[in-house]
């Protein structure tokens, strides 16, 4: 049987620094200056993808994994026909529904009802198809009370609910889902994953699924592929690919574990997470039971009361070990001031055995359920320490949490 998607040696390059002025006037000025130079300044070439080759069969759920910057989103944009490859060929059999970013294909001034029809038309559906599925879409999204409200007033969570409901219910043969489901709450994520499983088993639709939550990839997908620095490392069974991914070498001995890309100053955005010791000095290594201070730096374009910052710590497979929030429910209210803000999440004793873990952070902003910016996961390493003086340091392959306990005879 011929594949539904055949990707034949596609590559995608971008030229950095030489083009992309904000106006025609700037570009014309650059060109005029270059006339009087011996040569134009060299352009930097960045290969987001390099010679990717694979195929997908009908009804297959393919998980795409890789660290941030590996090329996952670029690959999905090429498959969704949002951008064209620099070289290579993509052959697709059937219509594609894509969920790449929150609210992609939505018009902010239109209501949720109008955007269902607009988004459906963009995906190539007829009005008759949309009308037939309309009630199911609204029911699944769980926002029927706001269906006639302009979507510019929706939170990011409401955007995702409606966008996923449209993409999942309209009659396309291929569904592409990027990391956007991370914005929704846990119950809705579970509902979405169940829907993906249903449409592949009952409707024989093909799904491409990108997620940093490796346990979701393991449970949902039939096969997976691993991207690294724009190259295809392996393509095969889920367990094999995830094991290769977790064994990737990475730079973990750093005092700044995560640095977010520059964002416009008129947007809320995270900037970095730093690791500090008790004296407030940058800390390059972690050991079991260490004192640790995770300093989260973010930018706010305006003063804001009652904002919240969330810090999370997961296992590499995606199991949540810690979710700390400075929300009012925890009797700690943070007022965002305009410009750079910092807040520390302090663990007086790091209750983790030796091993690798993932950290990340998010901003909670009024009218936006959760705002995720840039890289959401950074790999850290906890080094072994003989905390019990037993000659055997605790390691994560035996137990994740080394408790501070002692023994007594009754």
Higher-pLDDT residue of 1, 328: 1
The runs of H, that is alpha helices, within 237-322 are 238-246
Query: Residue range 278-295: average pLDDT?
Result: 90
The pLDDT-based confidence of 27 (bands split at 50, 70, 90) is: low
pLDDT given at position 111: 94
Query: Residue range 383-395: average pLDDT?
Result: 84
CA distance 349 to 269: 29
Considering only CA atoms, which of 306, 383, 370, 374 is closest in space to residue 156? 370
Token couple for 106: 């939505």
The pLDDT-based confidence of 24 (bands split at 50, 70, 90) is: low
Lowest mean pLDDT among 85-94, 274-283, 303-312: 303-312
Lowest mean pLDDT among 14-18, 62-66, 87-91, 121-125: 14-18
pLDDT given at position 106: 82
Strand partners, 16: 44
pLDDT given at position 66: 86
Residue 347 has pLDDT above 50, yes or no: yes
Higher-pLDDT residue of 178, 153: 153
Our measurement of the distance from residue 316's CA atom to the centroid of its chain's CA atoms, rounded to an integer in Å, reads 14
Query: Residue range 132-161: average pLDDT?
Result: 88
CA distance 182 to 374: 13
pLDDT given at position 163: 84
CA distance 355 to 397: 8
pLDDT given at position 224: 94
Residue 25, CA atoms < 13 Å, CB-side half-sphere: 0
CA distance 7 to 81: 13
- pLDDT tens column, 203-228: 788 999 988 777 778 888 989 999 98
Report the mean per-residue pLDDT for the chain.
81
Percent of the chain past pLDDT 70, that is, above it, reads 81
Query: Residue range 291-318: average pLDDT?
Result: 83
Q: Looking at the chain, how many residues does it have?
A: 410
- pLDDT tens column, 353-387: 988 888 888 777 665 545 555 445 677 888 888 88
What domains are defined for the chain?
Answer: 55-246 (3.40.50.300), 256-383 (2.70.50.60)
HEC sequence for 193-215: HHHHHHHHHHHCCEEEEECCCHH
- pLDDT tens column, 85-115: 999 999 999 888 777 765 567 888 999 999 9
Q: How far is the CA of 192 from the CAs of 15, 125, 212, 317, in angstroms?
A: 37, 21, 16, 19
pLDDT given at position 232: 94
pLDDT given at position 182: 60
Higher-pLDDT residue of 67, 20: 67
Query: Residue range 134-145: average pLDDT?
Result: 91
């Amino acid at each position: 049987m011929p594949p539904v998607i055949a990707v034949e040696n596609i590559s995608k390059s971008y030229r950095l620094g030489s083009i992309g002025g904000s106006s025609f006037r700037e570009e014309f000025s650059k060109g005029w200056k270059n006339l009087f130079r011996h040569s134009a300044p060299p352009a930097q070439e960045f290969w987001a993808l390099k010679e990717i080759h694979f195929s997908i069969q009908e009804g297959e759920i393919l998980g795409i994994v890789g660290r941030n910057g590996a090329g996952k989103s670029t690959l999905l944009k090429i498959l969704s026909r949002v951008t064209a490859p620099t070289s290579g060929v993509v052959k697709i059999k059937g219509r594609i529904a894509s969920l790449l970013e929150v609210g992609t294909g939505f018009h902010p001034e239109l209501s949720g009802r109008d955007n269902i029809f607009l988004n459906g038309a963009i995906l190539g559906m007829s009005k008759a198809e949309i009308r037939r599925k309309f009630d199911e879409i609204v029911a699944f999204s769980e926002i029927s009370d706001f269906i006639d409200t302009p979507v510019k007033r929706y939170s990011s969570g409401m955007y995702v609910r409606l966008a996923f409901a449209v993409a999942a219910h309209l009659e396309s043969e291929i569904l592409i889902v990027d990391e956007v489901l991370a914005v929704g709450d846990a119950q809705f994520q579970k509902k979405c994953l169940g829907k993906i499983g249903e449409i592949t088993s009952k409707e024989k639709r093909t799904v491409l699924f990108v997620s940093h939550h490796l346990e979701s990839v393991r449970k949902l997908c039939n096969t997976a592929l691993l991207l690294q620095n724009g190259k295809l490392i392996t393509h095969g069974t889920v367990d094999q690919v995830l094991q290769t991914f977790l064994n990737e070498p990475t730079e973990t001995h750093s005092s700044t574990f995560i640095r977010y890309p520059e964002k416009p100053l008129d947007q809320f955005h995270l900037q970095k997470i730093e690791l500090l010791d008790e004296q407030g000095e940058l800390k390059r290594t972690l050991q079991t039971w260490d004192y640790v201070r995770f300093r989260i730096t973010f930018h706010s374009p305006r003063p804001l009361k009652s904002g919240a910052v969330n810090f999370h710590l997961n296992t590499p497979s995606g199991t949540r070990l810690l979710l700390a929030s400075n929300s009012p429910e925890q009797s700690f209210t943070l007022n965002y001031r305009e410009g750079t803000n910092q807040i520390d999440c302090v663990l007086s004793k790091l209750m983790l055995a030796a091993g690798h873990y993932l950290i990340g952070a998010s901003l909670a902003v009024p009218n936006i359920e959760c705002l995720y910016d840039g890289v959401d996961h950074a790999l850290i390493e906890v080094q072994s320490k003989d905390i019990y003086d037993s000659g055997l340091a605790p390691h994560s392959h035996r137990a994740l949490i080394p408790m501070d306990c002692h023994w007594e005879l009754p």
